[in-house]
Amino acid sequence: MSLPASETPRCDAGTPGAAGQRMRAIDTLLADRGQLFQALFLSAPIAKALVDLDGHVLVANPMMCALTGRTAENIAGRHVDLLAHPDDPPVGDLGLAPRAGEPVLDPNLLLDGERRLRRSDGTELWVVQSHEVVRHNNGDPQFVVLSLVDVTDRRRAEDDLVRRAFVDPLTGLPNRRALTDRLRHAVALSRRRGLQVGLVHLNIDRFKAVNETLGHEAGDLLLSQIADRLRWSTRVEDTAVRLGADEFLVVAEDVEDLDGLRALADRLLSVLDEPFVVHGREINLSASVGLTLGADMSPDDLLRQAQSALTKAKADGSRARIEVHEGVLSHDDVDALQLETDLRHAIDNEELRLFYQPIVHLGDESLLGYEALIRWQHPTRGLLPPAAFLDAAENNRLTSKLGAWVLRRACNDAATWPEDLRVHVNISARHLAEEGFSDLVADALAESGLEPGRLELEITESTALFAAEATLHSVAVVTDAGVTLALDDFGTGYSAITALHRLPIHTVKIDRSFVADVVTEPATAALVQGLLQLGRGMGLQVIAEGIEDLDQADWLLRHGCAMAQGYAFGRPAPLPSPAAVFIGEMTDAPAEETAGELLPPELETPVVPQPRDEPAPRLTRETDDTGRFVTTGTLFDELADPDED
């Protein structure tokens, strides 16, 4: 930075007068270079300090004082390591060396580039540091000009991008992307230490219902509270991760055995048992848990095993249940995976079937319509009922695809029936809430030519109670078009009255669990009688499900139930097209002559036990003056298939 006398520009002889004046001005400037340097140093727009070769500050300009939060007097005479961040390694341990031709300097002066410092108030500061050696005219080093450019805002923006990529923005926990690196590190560490890695996979029970009832804002607050409890309930070496929605995962390092992992899971469940408070409302939650433990396996295998264990914990609708998955994937897991793969091709391969169960008028058993029930004719496993594959459909988000197929096929079939017969189609909550559901219904009706009033969509009580805005909108559109809505499993859900008020319900179906004991259990009889009165009082159609004998049918008829469905009137069975066996006027002709073959050739038609020791069944049953049945058996019994609804 210094300018030696030998390098001072001089004028050659004979220089014109103007050039001579310019050289005299330069000489004057050089004579006053101390004052000029001082002015430039003090007014510099970036933080600067003059530091001796050993790293002690001689003087700092105002920008340096402002940047570090210290006064010039406080900085002068102090070593520059005063500004170093305490969490960073000592600069002397970095092995920095001066550039060629530079004198020996304090290592803190050699650390050019981006570094982290600390202000006087303890806050973090990021700067780009550079240094320049100032020499005497003879070339000896005199001092160092240390410059600091504040890049804290840029660094924070970059850190924020990284945080968003690897941290869940709602809960502040690491996200699924960060889990991959964390789990890879944990597996590698476990191999070196000879211990195991444990995974605790948690799914909050019924969170969706809570979220839809209280609103998404309350749901977000609840998830944040759950994350906080998981964070402070785990060990320092453990990592709590939010996988998405209402699923969390805890990576536990250095786990000795399964008992230790179970103890961690029990502790997590216990802290979640304590009530949560959101918007002044107390909420009680539980979680289902899947556990897995391993060492010499890939992170992906560990995650699959944890997911498999969680699936088992929630398989039968249980809550707060813990399931353990040890070792490699079991035969059942592999079998379930294969079933899920096969289901993806079932529609394209035309393997799905619709079975129909009749709905009749109790007074004279006249046919009113059918409920459409899906079956899967698997190429190797045979005919599968819904319970065998609907979980696989849910896991693969195929419920909407299956539901669309059922709706179209049922409408096409019903269009061939007499105009007084209706078709009932079950709709899942997920499908009903999807965008475009109302268009799907309209298209199915238009393609088949079926009148909207002949289609009734059946939903569960929980779907009605926790219906989101998208669901309410879809229902409004389809019901305005003339389609009716039935509430299935009436009386078994959360709040029957609330469900009836949330949606334009046309029909309620009393669940089979009540009908089964209506004759033998007075308490159940009183409950069913109340449900019947409630339905009639609200102007609703009432259907009793699961009627298996005439005593049940007789009791329901005497207490005002007009419509029924159950094995006493027919099991679910394939329906020929046209469905002559079930429609129009019935005759005593053999079933094969009336309707043809109802079951596939390889399926044997089972013998259905008759409720009374009567002779061969007639096609319809008469009633006496009191409305009681006087004969038994129907054509439906003769043609029943072995699969239950």
13-47, pLDDT tens digit by residue? 444 556 666 556 555 545 556 777 778 888 889 99
The residue-averaged pLDDT of 580-602 equals 39
What tokens were used for 561?
A: 């139930």
* Tokens describing residue 70: 């210290």
Q: What is the pLDDT of residue 471?
A: 73
Q: What is the pLDDT of residues 321-362, one digit of tens each?
A: 888 885 544 555 556 667 777 888 888 888 999 999 999 999
Mean pLDDT, rounded, for 366-393 = 87
Average pLDDT over residues 239-246: 91
User: Please, are residues 380 and 296 in contact by the beta-carbon 8 Å criterion?
Assistant: no
Q: Give pLDDT, residue 586.
A: 41
Q: Are strands 367-378 and 352-361 parallel, antiparallel or unpaired?
A: antiparallel
Residue 64 CA to residue 125 CA, distance in Å, equals 12
| Confidence at residue 601, expressed as pLDDT on a 0 to 100 scale | 36
Containing H/E element for 328?
none
For the segment 441-474, what is each residue's pLDDT rounded down to a tens digit? 999 999 999 999 999 999 876 666 555 676 778 8
pLDDT tens, position by position, 275-305: 899 888 888 888 999 999 887 778 888 898 8
> What CA–CA distance (Å, rounded) separates 164 from 166?
6
Looking at 491-543, list the stretches that DSSP marks H as alpha helix, in order from N- to C-terminal side.
496-502, 512-515, 522-537
Q: HSE of 328 in the Cβ direction (CA atoms, 13 Å)?
A: 3
Distance from CA of residue 35 to its chain's centroid?
A: 68
257/640 Cα distance (integer angstroms) = 53
d(CA 628, CA 597): 33
Cα–Cα nearest to 342, from 626, 334, 116:
334
Is residue 306 helix, strand or coil? helix
Q: Is the sign of the CA dihedral 489, 495, 496, 498 positive or negative?
A: negative
d(CA 148, CA 539): 81
Tell me how many degrees the CA angle 38-7-46 measures, rounded to the nearest 5. Answer: 30
User: In the predicted model, what is the mean pLDDT of residues 558-582?
Assistant: 77
pLDDT at position 577 is 45
Task: Compute the distance between CA of residue 581 and CA of residue 596 in angstroms, rounded to an integer.
Answer: 8
Beta strand segments in 189-330, E: 196-204, 239-244, 247-255, 276-278, 281-283, 287-294, 322-326
Long-range CB contacts (within 8 A, 24+) of 115-118: 115/88, 116/85, 116/87, 116/88, 117/68, 117/83, 117/84, 117/85, 117/148, 118/83, 118/84, 118/85, 118/86
Q: Cα-flanking dihedrals φ and ψ of residue 629, to 5°? A: -75, 140
Task: Quote the CA–CA distance of 632 and 334 in Å, as a whole number.
Answer: 47
Mean pLDDT for the stretch of residues 401-428:
93
Residue whose C-alpha is closest to residue 485's, from 537, 526, 426? 426
- In 3-state terms the chain splits into helix, strand, coil percentages (rounded to 5) of 40, 20, 35
Residue 596 pLDDT > 50: no
pLDDT at site 547? 92
b/e per residue 542-577 (b: at least 16 CB within 10 A): bbbbbbbbbbbbbbbbeeebbbbbbbbbbbbbbbbe
Mean pLDDT of 417-427: 93
Q: What is the pLDDT of residue 32?
A: 59
> How far is 456 from 426, CA to CA, in rounded Å?
9
In 3D, which of 132, 126, 125 has the Cα closest to residue 147?
132
Does residue 168 surpass a pLDDT of 70? yes
Calculate the average pLDDT of the chain.
79
Using CA atoms, how far apart are residues 337 and 332, in angstroms rounded to an integer?
9
Q: What is the rounded CA–CA span in Å between residue 560 and residue 544? A: 11
Helix (H) or strand (E) holding 162: helix 152-166
Contact 248, 265 (CB under 8 A): no
Cα pseudo-dihedral 211, 213, 218, 223, rounded to 10: -20
* Separation in Å, CA 22 to CA 16, 27, 36, 319, 602: 10, 9, 18, 92, 114
pLDDT tens digits, one per residue of 613-625: 333 333 334 434 3
- State the Cα–Cα distance between residues 167 and 268, nearest whole angstrom: 21
Cβ atoms within 10 Å of 42's Cβ, excluding its own: 12
Q: How many residues does the chain have?
A: 645
What per-residue confidence (pLDDT) applies to 129? 94
Amino acid at 328: V
Q: Which residue has the higher pLDDT, 118 or 98?
A: 118
The rounded distance, in Å, linking the Cα atoms of 225 and 172 is 11
Cα 157 to the center of its chain, rounded Å: 29
Q: For the chain, give the percent of residues with pLDDT over 90.
A: 31
pLDDT value at residue 10: 42
Which whole number is the average pLDDT over 517-525?
88
Give the mean pLDDT of 550-565: 91
What is the predicted pLDDT for the residue at 173? 93
| Lowest-confidence region among 170-174, 256-260, 345-349, 504-508 | 256-260
CB atoms within 10 A of CB 67: 22
Q: What are the φ and ψ backbone dihedral angles of 277, each rounded to 5 degrees?
A: -125, 120
Joined tokens for residue 615: 């002779």
**Which position has the token pair 């353990």?**
324
CA–CA separation, 166 and 160 (whole Å)? 10
With the CA atoms of 458, 461, 462 and 463 taken in that order, what torsion angle do they form, in degrees rounded to the nearest 10?
Answer: 30
Burial-class residue 96 by CB neighbours within 10 Å (0-12, 13-18, 19+): middle
Quick one: pLDDT band at residue 369, thresholds 50, 70, 90? very high
Can you give the pTM of this predicted structure?
0.47
Cis peptide before 578 (omega within 30 of 0): yes
More confident residue, 493 or 253: 253
pLDDT for 25: 58
- CA 460, CA 429: separation in Å to the nearest integer? 8
Alpha helix positions (H), 538-584: 550-558
Q: Which residue has the higher pLDDT, 392 or 418?
A: 418
Tell me the C-alpha distance between 563 and 459, whole Å.
Answer: 18
How far is it, in rounded angstroms, from Cα 440 to Cα 446?
Answer: 10
Backbone angles phi, psi at 84, to 5 degrees: -65, 145
For the record, the structure tokens of 525 come out as 């009889």
Phi-psi map region of 69: left, alpha, beta (phi>0 left; psi -120 to 50 alpha): left
Query: Count of CB atoms within 10 A of residue 123's CB?
Result: 10
User: In the predicted model, is pLDDT for residue 383 greater than 50?
Assistant: yes
Q: At what angle do helices 299-313 and 176-193 cross, to 10 degrees?
A: 110
Residue 639's identity, in one-letter code, is L
Percent of the chain with pLDDT over 70: 78
Res 582 pLDDT > 80: no
Give the residue-averaged pLDDT of 411-426: 94
Does the structure show a pLDDT above 60 at 566?
yes
pLDDT of residue 56: 93
> In a 3-state reduction of DSSP, which class is residue 7?
helix
| Cα end-to-end distance, the chain, whole Å | 93
